[in-house]
Amino acid sequence: MKIIDVIASPGLTGFYFDDQLAIKSGVEHDGFTYLGEPKTPGFKAVRQRGESISVMLILEDGQVASGDCAAVQYSGAGGRDPLFLAEDFIPIILGEIAPKLVGQELDSFRKLVELVENSQRENGERYHTAIRYGVSQAILDGVAKAQRKTMTEVILEEYELPMVLEPVPIFTQTGDDRYENADKAIIKRAGVLPHALINNVETKLGKDGELLLDYVNWLRNRIMTLGGDDYRPILHIDVYGTIGLAFEDNVERMVEYFIQLEKAADPLHLRIEGPMDAGSLEGQIEQLKALRVALKARGVKVEIVADEWCNTYEDIVKFVDAQAADMVQIKTPDLGGIQNTIEAVIYAKKYGVGAYVGGSCNETDSGGRTAVHVSLAARPDQMLAKPGMGVDEGYMIVHNEMNRTLAVLKRVRETRSRRVN
């Protein structure tokens, strides 16, 4: 089955592009948007609509395989590629990517994605991570359609992974509506929650961490009250480096604060993502590792999750090799081709580091569904409900795709077993 054409269309994402640098500097909320001037190159406002590009592969038999190019909410921050706008990149996809794919046989996902992943433009630069991300989704979908299999099966076979017929825990994020949306996640019995978007010291963390501590206390009590005796999710909170800012990157002070957080969360297990932002890859690895070692020395079981400066497959390898974090977020759009996410999960698990197939609220339904197939095959510790910040929509997309796929895979296994017998 060959690709006979490539077409593209502009789209919207499930959230917005936010200028993280401006938000951290303390710009004010104005309804759903922000006041003040943007600080990150490419932004025309602190918050602007998220954009995507749907890439569609036309197959010989008339089938259409698709994937969505999308970038993360905080584009241009923490070493990431710049803002991704549809009008800027559709001409590149049609003019430079399409000729590489038209006429290709859809016989190997891993072979085809390399045609784009490692290509360079005339100026010597690689294609934007969002392009590589969306095109790889379309290729995976195309190979699955050509072989009449699920995307999960394609990954299992090409990476020689075992089929496991169990769901992967889903991590829901509340956005700024961290109380009402936490209720939604609890009612839906999400495996991991709430993210909570703690991205400002004064208004969300507290200058001594008191606001987050109060929130963890509330969250723990709310889960016990609303969730019942048989519901014990993992608490995972992203603090965007604000703990480091509040405690001046002093490891001893941060450890004492983590002890307070652990007591507030008990008996629930707690993960803290991005406790500090050192401003560079090397600095982040060094500081995260120092904090992790100090926490273990004090017997604190709160886990540290790496996010900022842990953007590419190569970055993830460095964090894992240094044992700098208990878990790495594998932020799918930042890694480019989806094959890098697969390989990052495999690598982290091999060396005993937790793997979290993340991504962004600023993706699309296509990215969410593809991440399900990656997760069911590669088996990370958790995956993100995406896109959006409303809990319901993203959780529905990911949860339903996971259950549909598990039902199909179960039937595949039963059919094979009957044939053997």
Give the residue numbers marked as catalytic.
Answer: 331
Please tell me whether residues 178 and 101 are part of one structural domain: no
pLDDT beyond 80 at 360? yes
Whether 164 is in a domain gets the answer no
Question: Is 329 within 8 Å of 273 (Cβ atoms)?
Answer: yes
| 10 vs 199 pLDDT, higher one | 10
Please tell me whether residues 38 and 113 are part of one structural domain: yes
Other CB atoms within 10 Å distance of the CB of residue 279: 14
Which pLDDT score, from 0 to 100, does residue 25 have? Answer: 85
Query: ω into residue 267 within 30 of 0, thus cis?
Result: yes
pLDDT in tens, 221-230: 999 999 999 9
| 201 vs 29 pLDDT, higher one | 201
Whether 58 is in a domain gets the answer yes
Please tell me whether residues 107 and 197 are part of one structural domain: no
Please tell me whether residues 109 and 233 are part of one structural domain: no
In this prediction, residues 352-373 reach a mean pLDDT of: 97
104 has binding-site annotation: no
pLDDT beyond 80 at 77? no
Please tell me whether residues 258 and 236 are part of one structural domain: yes
173 has binding-site annotation: yes
Question: Which is it for strands 47-59 and 3-18: parallel, antiparallel or unpaired?
Answer: antiparallel
Domain with residue 282: its CATH number is: 3.20.20.120
Whether 420 is in a domain gets the answer no
Please tell me whether residues 217 and 360 are part of one structural domain: yes
Report d(CA 170, CA 380) in Å as an integer. 11
Share the mean pLDDT of the chain.
95
273 has binding-site annotation: yes
Which pLDDT score, from 0 to 100, does residue 150 have? Answer: 98
Domain with residue 10: its CATH number is: 3.30.390.10
Counting the structural domains of the chain, the total is 2
Whether 416 is in a domain gets the answer no
Which pLDDT score, from 0 to 100, does residue 23 have? Answer: 85
Which pLDDT score, from 0 to 100, does residue 302 have? Answer: 98
**Cα 81 from chain centre:** 15
What is the pTM for the complete model shown? 0.94
Domain stop point among 159, 190, 221: 159
* Residue at 96: amino acid letter: E
Please tell me whether residues 317 and 364 are part of one structural domain: yes
Confidence of residue 78 (pLDDT cuts 50, 70, 90): low
Structural domain boundaries enclosing 48: 2-159
Please tell me whether residues 137 and 277 are part of one structural domain: no
Whether 77 is in a domain gets the answer yes
392 has binding-site annotation: no
**Cα 276 from chain centre:** 19
Domain stop point among 120, 137, 159: 159
pLDDT in tens, 172-208: 999 999 999 999 999 999 999 999 999 889 999 999 9
Give the neighbor-by-neighbor strand order of the sheet with 64-69.
Answer: 3-18, 47-59, 64-69
Please tell me whether residues 131 and 192 are part of one structural domain: no
Whether 40 is in a domain gets the answer yes
Whether 269 is in a domain gets the answer yes
The H-assigned helical ranges of 14-60 are 20-24
Quickly list DSSP for 177-214: -TTHHHHHHHHTT-SEEEE-----IIIII-TTSHHHHH
Please tell me whether residues 130 and 190 are part of one structural domain: no
Confidence of residue 82 (pLDDT cuts 50, 70, 90): confident
Whether 186 is in a domain gets the answer yes
Domain stop point among 113, 139, 159: 159
Please tell me whether residues 124 and 175 are part of one structural domain: no
Please tell me whether residues 138 and 215 are part of one structural domain: no
329 has binding-site annotation: yes
